[in-house]
Chains A and B, each alone.
Chain A
Amino acid sequence: MAFAAFSSTTAPSTDPVARRRSPVALFLLLPGILYLVLFFLTPLVSLLLTSFQAPREFGDIGQYDYAFRWQNYVEVVTTYWPHIVRSFSYALAATFFALLISYPLAYFIGVKARKWPLLQSLMLVLVIAPFFISFLLRTLAWKQLFADESFVVQSLKALSLLGPEAHVTGTAFSVIFGLTYNFIPFMTLPLYTTLERLDVRYLEAGSDLYASPFQVFQKVTIPLSMPGIVAGTLLTFIPAAGDYINAGRDFLGGTGTQMMGNVIEANFLVLQNYPSAAALSIILMTVILVIVSIYVKRSGTEELL
């Protein structure tokens, strides 16, 4: 099942076997590792090299030479500063809302629904159901539902909850909404896998010791489900920061909501400004790695990796 991948990210590493040293290990590892070196690691290196390229003298558009033009970085940061800020703030907001929406849902499926295994598996299937239908079509469906002439927007306008000239699509709201929606399953599944293993006797012990339900939640449930919270927030934050579908003009975004992904795409595939696209990608990746390593250290869940 699709969520097997998520459940194992939080599984404790058990060491049942005394591991052997054997040349077989090398035979098993080499093809896959070599593949990743060729198609994951060297591309990152060539991205780094590209990010320092300089335009060829008297060359055409899209022609660059290897150089050490570090000014590329200064240029993209000054030009695309709003996009950089938007990427991380939208991703942060979407992660926050997805956690808020998913936690009670995961708690119900993982803890309260234990008595009914059939209901539990039915609900899990519904959580992963969005994965079975195209990500782009789902996002477009929201665009249609939030279009100016749609029932939702017309009703909001009739109730004066929305100004007569206001739009829903093309705003920061609709982009964050789309990101939140699309990453709820990524948040819910790891939360579910930790909450499903939560020993309810700890909660009972908390209330036996006169803790209020809120205190039990804050002092027992949350700390015990921390691995799930960390895995879920990472699985949401990382792809959300790099996403460019939700913020795309033909989807839920507008000219004022473009994120880093959008400008990387535009620079690479449309403007053929490869060094700028590469520099932005390197910045995106570096910031994410820094945030992730600080976050994982602070929350004390290094063993997850």
Chain B
Amino acid sequence: MKLSLGKWLLPVYSSLALLFLMIPIGYTFIYSFNDSLKSNITWRGFTFDKWLNVCNVQNGAVCQAFGNSLIIGAIATVVATTLGTMIAIAIVRYRFKFRSQTSLFLFLPMATPEVVLGAGLAAQFLSLGVPKDMLTIILAHTMFCISFVVVTVKARVASLDPALEEAGRDLYGSAWQVFARITFPLLLPGILAAALLSFALSFDDFIITNFNSGAVTTFPKYIYISAARGIPAEANVLASAVFILALVVVVTVQVSGAARARRLAKMS
């Protein structure tokens, strides 16, 4: 069999490529168990200590930064998801002047490098004399999340069968009832996906935050500042915990989605 090598080449390559993607994740996870001192560079022995006392280091500076990131992410996600979903529905369902220009305008923030978005907002806040704090970070994060929400929800709205809403109207549902009972529940998976994406983008953003945060520290900013003098293992603990949580959420969504698809396939 001449083909046997060729047959195995692609699966083996793909496994290696995925393994390559996992290397820094594994490294971060392993070093969360390092019995390190101030900086977490050389391996000094295994301990659960950092996992059990996450907030003890530097008077809880890591945890405070982490908490700030959670608050910012939550608020930015709610605002961006609401505004973005409204836009997505309007673009797919309605006709209006400058519709294609609006689409292009919504695409622009995603095509602009983060450093430009960050510097632009900072220049605006500077010229208006707005002090940089939590609020300016939230305003910035909401801005770059909106476009991502629009593309995510737009796909869902476009795949929605309009006959379902027509049926609702035929059965004398008011516009609001049709939206609340039919449109919204059907859009919900797309809206949730958009919200998760927004939160992930906000939570991990550093570049735009760095320009608009003033003295406020977020989790990525904490890592950036500490990079010069060494990052405590507690940062690895928090990052690993987030990783595990996100993995659980995604796997659950995937598995339940697959199960639902199987059920639907059986029904038809």
Contacts and interface: CB of A to CB of B under 8 A. Distances in A.
B134 interface: no
Interface of chain B, helix or strand or loop or mixed? Answer: helix
B127 A50 contact: yes
Interface in A93-151: 101-102, 104-105, 107-109, 112, 117-118, 121, 123, 125-142, 144-145, 147
Contacts of B17: 101-102, 104-105, 184
Interface of chain A, helix or strand or loop or mixed? Answer: helix
Interface string B28-56: 10010000000001000000000000000
Interface in B113-132: 113-117, 119-124, 126-127
B28 A138 contact: yes
Contact of B146 (A32, A126, A133): A32
Range class of the B interface residue count: 35 or more
Given A32-B146, A239-B113, A132 B120 contact: no
Given A4-B152, A31-B86, A245-B207, A14 B247 contact: no
A289 interface: yes
A47 B123 contact: yes
Interface in B152-169: 152, 154-155, 158, 161-162
Interface in B80-126: 83-84, 86-87, 89-96, 102-109, 111-117, 119-124, 126
A10 B250 CA distance: 22
B75 interface: no
B151 interface: yes
A159 interface: no
27 contacts: A11-B158, A13-B158, A16-B158, A19-B95, A25-B96, A28-B94, A32-B146, A36-B147, A39-B139, A46-B120, A101-B17, A104-B10, A104-B17, A125-B247, A133-B28, A134-B235, A136-B206, A137-B223, A137-B235, A138-B24, A139-B24, A145-B27, A234-B111, A242-B116, A261-B113, A264-B115, A305-B107
Given A131-B246, A134-B220, A265-B210, 11 more contacts: A17-B93, A19-B93, A25-B90, A25-B94, A29-B102, A35-B143, A137-B235, A141-B24, A245-B224, A248-B227, A285-B112
